[in-house]
Structure 1
């Protein structure tokens, strides 16, 4: 077991997907999504639509990594040999052995293909089995029904809703749904259930 090392080059992969550390030069890869699929970030607290927002998105992700607050990944789909999007660990708490998994987005061509389940399987396996995490938390806009359904489908338990807990980019208030998976749940069924659906 180890702690999350922010300066380590973690590569998480299986036959379907490869997650590699996000780098500044990945702007060139991800910018196509920012230009052509701006609605991907409809519910995001940090949208990456348009080149300026994508640069800010990546800069902030790398700053948070330097500050040891998050570990962002670039997602590569081996099935299509194309880059699909990004995801990350964040709010890592070494003392309490908790972290959050989020800031996840993929191009529309990758939705519903099983890519997300493979990414989540790799990240949850790493969190629970390598980092010895006790609780992985997920958050989403309570109006983002597609994202909530995806989180439930991988085995997350709904804990509740934080009412108007943060502001959206347009200045309105957002209700955030909280979901989680506990380590004991991972080993007592969530892992096998998710693995059987990859």
Structure 2
């Protein structure tokens, strides 16, 4: 899997390589809904944006992740971020994670299109045999969104991570495997098409 940054184009969004130049846009996108106040998300607060950005870019250098800024085509604004992470080159697996969107574009075509673009690239360009999603036990909205994509729940990792505030997180793990991709793709295209109807 080539971790050289690249751009993915959809009808509603462009996923462009995340850079230091996105600093102010990321802060503005997160401020739409003060998303960092949701304790179960990875959205950077204004004072933590630089650390969040530095981490994303260092993971790219280490070939562990490819991070994107999500640009809304209609408004031209950055409305969130997502990434390929936990890239396992030897076993052709990766995770789609660290995904968040401004409150004003939640429950819109944005997430469906982003996932369609990312999953298509993962399975059809990278040749992945499995794509994983992970979320906090308390993030019920995220779990519902992942299940709507067609991913199946694999496990709950108990006491999986110690959070910055000291809370110990249980992590819910989902995946889509290679032989399920055709059906999942059809479903995502159908869901995406409903926004255009």
TM-score category, normalised to shorter length: over 0.9
TM-score by length of 2: 0.92
| Count of matched residue positions in the alignment of Structure 1 and Structure 2 | 191
TM-score by length of 1: 0.92
- Deviation of 1:79 after TM superposition, in Å, equals 3.2
Q: Deviations over 1:87-136 (max 9, x none)?
A: 00011111111001100011000100110000000000000000000000
Distance 2:76 2:127 in 1: 32
Q: State the secondary structure of the residue aligned to 2:191.
A: coil
Q: State the secondary structure of the residue aligned to 1:196.
A: helix
Q: Gaps spanning 5+ residues in structure 1: where?
A: none
Structure-to-structure mapping, 1:150-189, within 5 angstroms: 150-187=145-182, 189=183
Pick aligned residue for 1:196 from 185, 190, 194: 190
Distance 1:177 1:77 in 2: 29
Distance 1:155 1:84 in 2: 24
Q: Gaps spanning 5+ residues in structure 2: where?
A: 193-197
- Aligned residues of 2:30 and 2:102 also touching (Cα < 8 A): no
Matched residue, 2:88: 93
- Deviation of 1:164 after TM superposition, in Å, equals 1.0
Root mean square deviation of aligned Cα: 1.3
Q: State the secondary structure of the residue aligned to 2:108.
A: coil
- Aligned residues of 2:32 and 2:103 also touching (Cα < 8 A): no
Pick aligned residue for 2:125 from 102, 121, 130: 130
Q: Could you tell which deviates more after superposition, 75-84 or 114-123?
A: 75-84
Q: Deviations over 1:5-58 (max 9, x none)?
A: 22x2311112111101000110021111344533345313x44012x2111101
- Deviation of 1:176 after TM superposition, in Å, equals 0.4
Q: Deviations over 1:59-96 (max 9, x none)?
A: 11001111111000010111333211100001111111
